[in-house]
């Protein structure tokens, strides 16, 4: 059974849901606007440069989730999905997922963004499973800390290996679609790496290694 793996942010979405969630919290006024926006942008710049300290970023980005009850967070998330994310779901990306599923492939989103933000996005896109950074909970509330290995860089490979073992699946005939050089560990692990609207570093590497480069933001996708 073939495995079709998809990064989420800037691959199936025309934007970054983690970064946009931070901006949404600023717009709601539930975090300090100027300071939070500046730090959010700084972490995003570090990510794009390949220098992100994932633990420092998670300490920053998950902290607001610990400050409010789950019901309020879920209400905000519903607004976020409708206002900020739904317009960014790429039709060509959804079609690519549907084509894989029609062939009987197992479709999985593998994303560094946390499950609270990404679960309803993955459901809307229509994949079989979601691997995301998990959140620690105590008594039904988030603690502001991650649970287990963050699903980032080498962590994506580790999390996927564990999931495949549990699901009784293997790496044979596996494809991974991603835009980011941060995903090189997983791109190098699969049988068929595909660069999707890649950043400059990944475009260069894909050219050197003969990997396919496609666009899901244009008619050619």
By CB neighbour count within 10 A (0-12 exposed, 13-18 middle, 19+ buried), where does 91 fall? Answer: exposed
* Residue 85 DSSP symbol: I
| Strand extents, DSSP E, 26-164 | 106-114, 129-138, 141-147
Of the residues 7, 18, 105, 197, only one is catalytic, namely 7
DSSP 172-194: TTEEEEES-GGGHHHHTTSSEEE
18 catalytic, yes or no? no
Tokens of 190: 């699969």
Angle made by CA atoms 156, 186, 199, in degrees to the nearest 5: 105
7 catalytic, yes or no? yes
Asked whether the beta carbons of 151 and 182 are under 8 A apart, the reply is: no
Tokens of 216: 């899901």
* Residue 36 DSSP symbol: H
In the three-class reduction of DSSP (H, G, I as helix; E, B as strand; rest coil), residue 112 is classed as: strand
State the catalytic residues: 7, 9
């Amino acid at each position: 059974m073939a495995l079709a793996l998809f990064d989420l942010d800037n691959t199936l979405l025309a934007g970054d849901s983690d970064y946009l969630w931070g901006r949404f919290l600023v717009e709601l006024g539930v975090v300090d606007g100027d300071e939070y926006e500046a730090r959010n942008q700084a972490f995003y710049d570090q990510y794009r440069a390949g220098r992100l300290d994932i633990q420092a970023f998670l300490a920053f980005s998950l902290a607001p989730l610990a400050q409010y009850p789950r019901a309020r967070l879920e209400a905000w998330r519903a607004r976020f999905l409708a206002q900020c994310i739904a317009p960014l779901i790429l039709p060509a990306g959804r079609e690519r997922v549907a084509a894989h599923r029609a062939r009987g492939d197992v479709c999985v989103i593998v994303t560094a963004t946390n499950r609270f933000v990404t679960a309803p996005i993955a459901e809307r896109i229509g994949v079989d499973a979601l691997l995301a950074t998990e959140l620690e909970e105590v008594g039904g509330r988030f603690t502001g800390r991650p649970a287990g290995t963050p699903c980032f860089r080498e962590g994506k490979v580790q999390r996927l290996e564990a999931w495949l073992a549990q699901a009784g699946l293997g790496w044979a005939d596996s494809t991974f679609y991603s835009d980011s050089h941060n995903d090189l560990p997983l791109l190098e692990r699969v049988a068929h790496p595909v660069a999707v609207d890649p950043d400059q570093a990944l475009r260069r590497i894909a050219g050197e290694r003969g990997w396919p480069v496609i666009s899901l933001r244009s008619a050619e996708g």
